[in-house]
Copies of this chain bind each other. A is one copy, B any other.
Amino acid sequence: MQVHNFNAGPSMLPNEVLYKASKALIDFDGLGMSILEISHRSEAFLQVMAEARQLVRELLQLDEDFEVLFLHGGASTQFMQVPYNLLDAGETAGYLDTGVWANRALKEARLFGNVEVVASSADRNYCYIPKSFTVPKHLKYLHITTNNTIYGTQWHQIPEVEVPLVADMSSDIFSRRLDFNKFALIYAGAQKNMGPAGVTLVVVRKSILGKVSRLIPTMLDYRVHIQHESIYNTPPVFAVYISMLTLRWLKEQGGVDAIEKRNEAKAALLYREIDENPLFRGTADPADRSRMNVCFVMNDPSLEKEFLEFCKKEDIVGIKGHRLVGGFRASIYNAMPIESVEYLVESMRYFARTHG
């Protein structure tokens, strides 16, 4: 990375991962072949897959009932794969509607069974996390999007529920310590916090599977992938490899607890500047602010174009806000060093001084 890359996903990766991967593209492990040229059934790749799965288990401190899968398809595939495997026709799943992605997930579930929107923050453009709601006991599962990438909100308190909890953690997986064993199923597209685009992590409690009556196509059946240790068909070899390297890097950084402290510091620094700087203000309710995606606008919207151009000149990349929120979004996932956040803060200050 030679720029300050605040892309929301795909996002920046640790330099050491990229350097290692760049070499593996020419010669993997001294085999005289590229990582792209080896068989997915070779000992070399079996080891990559096994290490990746083991690292997930270790970093999330998962109990024995869980299986770790690296699947094709992106998080959007999970929007339908989850209900395909868990929600029978006639049954009801609950969804917490906290943004675009949560909404897409619940729409897919409607193809398979009934959906109850347990709570929604659509009334104020998803700028907050719903606080008081009751979760009906008859739900087959409750689906939560732990971090809302577009709106910059995050569940800092995971609801305590009696029904199985399914979580889309695409934009905050591995960023903070949670009791991951409280979930029944967790999924995450790799391309934000743990790898490149092209592979999706699924962590699933075996005991919740096999309870729907519909026939599940082989490639969509979690049990098939569990049985084949995530190599039922040719997996996305390179994306799994990069994820493994990124998880290794994360472990070397001290794991989830250590990275959480760094993520807290990065977010605190940036939000403090947004609050103190007279030109900017945050868009999410302060209590629900995401530590991953920091969304902000300018008090004088006519300055936004100029600030964006200024950022571009300063090698600050990917800072434009999603069109549904406007303004700016700085995504500061695990791989983002605090130095880049400091650089952004300095740039905001400089801009304020020169445009005060």
Q: Which residues of A contact B (CB under 8 A)?
A: 1-3, 5, 7-13, 18-19, 21-23, 25-27, 31-34, 36-40, 72-77, 79-80, 84, 104, 107-108, 111, 189, 191, 196-199, 215, 217-220, 232-239, 242, 315, 317-318
What residue in chain B is nearest A200 (Cβ atoms)? B72
User: How far does the alpha carbon of A18 sit from the alpha carbon of B311 in the complex, in Å?
Assistant: 33
With beta carbons under 8 angstroms apart, the residue of B1, B31, B199 that contacts A33 is: B1
Max count, chain B CB within 10 A of own CB: residue among A32, A232, A235: A32
For the complex, give the distance between the alpha carbons of A34 and B197 in Å: 12
Expressed in whole angstroms, the Cα–Cα distance for A19 and B13 within the complex equals 20
CA distance A111 to B2 in the complex (A): 50
**Contact at B198–A239, with CB atoms within 8 Å?**
yes
Complex: A107 Cα to B224 Cα, angstroms: 15
Please pick, from B74, B75, B233, the residue contacting A76 in the complex, using a CB distance under 8 A. B233
Q: Contact at B215–A111, with CB atoms within 8 Å?
A: yes
Alpha-carbon gap, A286 to B34, bound state (A):
33
In the complex, the answer to whether A236 meets B239 with C-beta atoms within 8 Å is yes
Q: List 17 A-B contacts (CB under 8 A).
A: A1-B34, A2-B33, A3-B33, A5-B33, A7-B38, A9-B39, A10-B39, A10-B40, A13-B37, A18-B25, A18-B26, A18-B36, A32-B317, A76-B233, A196-B237, A198-B236, A199-B236
> Measured between alpha carbons, how far is A11 from B80 in the docked complex, in Å?
32
Closest residue of chain B to A77 (Cβ to Cβ) is B219
Tell me whether B234 and A74 are in contact (CB under 8 A): yes
B76 touches A219 (CB 8 A): yes
Bound-state CA distance A38–B76 (Å) is 19
Docked pose: A37 CA to B195 CA in angstroms: 10
B residues less than 8 Å from A235 (CB atoms): 74, 197-198
Classify the interface of chain A: helix, strand, loop or mixed. Answer: loop
B22 touching A237, Cβ below 8 Å: no
> Given A25-B25, A197-B236, list of 14 further CB < 8 A pairs?
A10-B234, A11-B37, A13-B37, A21-B25, A33-B317, A36-B196, A72-B73, A73-B219, A74-B235, A76-B218, A104-B218, A189-B234, A196-B238, A236-B239
> Once the chains bind, are B72 and A10 in contact (CB under 8 Å)?
no
Give Cα A289 to B80, complex, Å: 41
CB-based contact B218/A79 at 8 Å: yes
Residues of B within 8 A of A198 (CB): 72, 198-199, 235-239
Q: In whole angstroms, what is the CA distance A1 to B35 when docked? A: 11
Hey, which chain B residues are within 8 Å of A19, CB to CB?
A: 26
Whole-angstrom distance between the Cβ of A93 and the nearest chain B Cβ: 15
In the complex, the chain B residue whose C-beta lies closest to that of A196 is B36
Alpha-carbon separation in the docked complex, A263 to B84 (Å) = 43
